[in-house]
Amino acid sequence: MAKSIMQDKKECWLCRNANGSIELSPYGLEEHHCISGTANRKISEETGLKMWLCVYHHRLVHSCREAELIVKTSAQMKYEETHSREEFISKFGKSWL
């Protein structure tokens, strides 16, 4: 299992984005692959584009386009800190930025 490049701590990534520096629970979390889809899920795993989400936010990301897009664009930006846009597209098939 590859290490997440999205976060160092086991905590909900979206709760962290909304809550600055408060202490968050490491329990009851579910793993989300940032770029979803049959083939992309596996590539997300290999490239570390995955994150912990609380149950509420995990459901939200899978049901709300806007929330899904926040996660996807953040993941792509993270990937592109160390790779090119072309590499991202060659792996995931398209760009969300």
Largest CA distance in the chain: 38
Give me Rg for the CA atoms of the chain.
13
Q: Which residues bind Zn ion (CB under 5 A)?
A: 12, 14-15, 32, 54, 57
The least CB distance from residue 84 to Zn ion, in Å, is 26
In the complex, what is the shortest distance from the CB of residue 5 to Zn ion, in angstroms, rounded to a whole number? Answer: 17
Q: Give whichever of 35 and 79 is closer to Zn ion, judged by the CB atom.
A: 35
- Spatial CB neighbours of 9, under 8 Å, sequence gap ≥ 6: 16, 24, 26
Q: Could you tell me the smallest distance in angstroms from the CB atom of residue 86 to Zn ion?
A: 27
Integer Cα distance of 1 and 3 in angstroms: 7
Please identify, using beta-carbon distances, which residue of 54 and 75 lies nearer to Zn ion: 54
Closer residue to Zn ion, CB minimum distance, 14 or 79:
14
Q: How far is the CB of 83 from Zn ion (least distance, A)?
A: 23
Whose CA is closest to 53, among 8, 16, 94, 19?
16
Shortest-Cβ-distance residue relative to Zn ion? 12
